[in-house]
Amino acid sequence: MAKSERETSSMKEGREGIDALAQDDASRKLFALAETVARTPSTVLIHGETGVGKEVLARFIHLNSRVARGPMVAINCAALSASLIESELFGHEKGAFSGATGQHAGAFERAHGGTLLLDEVSELPLELQAKLLRVLQERQVLRVGGTRPIPNDARIIATTNRNLAEHVSAGQFRQDLYFRLNVFPLEIPPLRERPADILPLARHYAGTLAERLDLEPREFSPQALEQLASYRYPGNVRELINIVERALILASTAACITTEHLIFEADAAPEVAHETRRASGNEDAHTVQFRAGDMPLTDVRRVIIERTLERFEGNRSRAAQELGVSTRTIRNKLKDYDKKN
């Protein structure tokens, strides 16, 4: 398939995916606005709580924009130190500082002809905010240690989980940069305020996560769906994904995902009794009674480790790889659990 055909296919799949997942009226209105601004080169500022899907919306805008054929480069402004983020954003020349052994193209250069996503832009240090403002105004980048400005036409999308207007009032964010970024603001409501999205998202991630985890797909029981729909999700979509992933692991030997496989945060969990079963090497199983949200996090980890080991027939290396930890971590956790028994 040619590149342009792949891009057209990606845009179509992105549109169809949004139509399937954005069932709530608030979400539909949001994506309609996003699709409208995507057709322009205007800068977009996406607000929303942590975990609501700000990057998903940003990618939707990119795929529906005039620069969809170009790259989309994302940089997390909160994840890098002040010394690193300047180089990551603007690039550097060889010898610009200790350790700069070669020339480095920054995020702006890499996003040339495409989209640059400035994730959590409110975390940028004030001194870098001034340099960012200059790049946005002049549409050219000067690498650290460089002398020749480089033209740049990357489309800018910024995200934040903070109230930038309040940050401006507190002197923590430049007002001129705020106005430069806040050309077209989009606010993503928290998941608890768009309840019609919960079940479509849960079913979607149950399918995609099962494929990634190499598990058989599982449907949700009616009671499980009821609990998922009634939960408040303080961690938003990211928390829903975690709940579904844990449930898939715990239900790996079950016919479907039931209430016994759903583990919620204690402070917001539905008050419904559950039970979970763990295979004991034969057809018998013992039952552990708990209330949703009352299972301590250490017990959640233990159940997940044990279920993963069961699925890989006790192979610690494969279980560790699946869980994204080291074999040593698995071994140490099992020792800790043995000591507590």
pLDDT per residue as tens digits for the range 29-44:
999 999 999 999 999 9
Q: What pLDDT sits at residue 86?
A: 87
SS (H, E, C) 240-266: HHHHHHHHHHHCCCCCCECHHHCCCCC
Tell me how far apart the alpha carbons of residues 51 and 190 are, in angstroms, rounded to a whole number: 8
With 50 as the cut, is the pLDDT of residue 272 above it?
no
CATH code linked to domain 3-189:
3.40.50.300
With 50 as the cut, is the pLDDT of residue 313 above it?
yes
Residue range 265-272: average pLDDT? Answer: 52
pLDDT per residue as tens digits for the range 74-90:
999 988 887 788 889 99
Q: Say how many Å lie between the first and final Cα of the chain, rounded.
A: 57
Tell me how far apart the alpha carbons of residues 254 and 162 are, in angstroms, rounded to a whole number: 42
- Kindly give the pairing relationship between strand 273-279 and strand 285-291: antiparallel
Class of domain 199-340: mainly alpha
Q: Are 64 and 211 in contact (CB under 8 A)?
A: no
Residue range 46-67: average pLDDT? Answer: 95
pLDDT per residue as tens digits for the range 86-114:
889 998 888 778 777 788 889 999 999 99
With 70 as the cut, is the pLDDT of residue 278 above it?
no
Domain ranges of the chain: 3-189, 199-340
Instruction: Report which of 338, 339, 334 is spatially closest to residue 310, judged by C-alpha positions.
Output: 334
Phi first, then psi: what are they for 299, rounded to 5°?
-70, -35
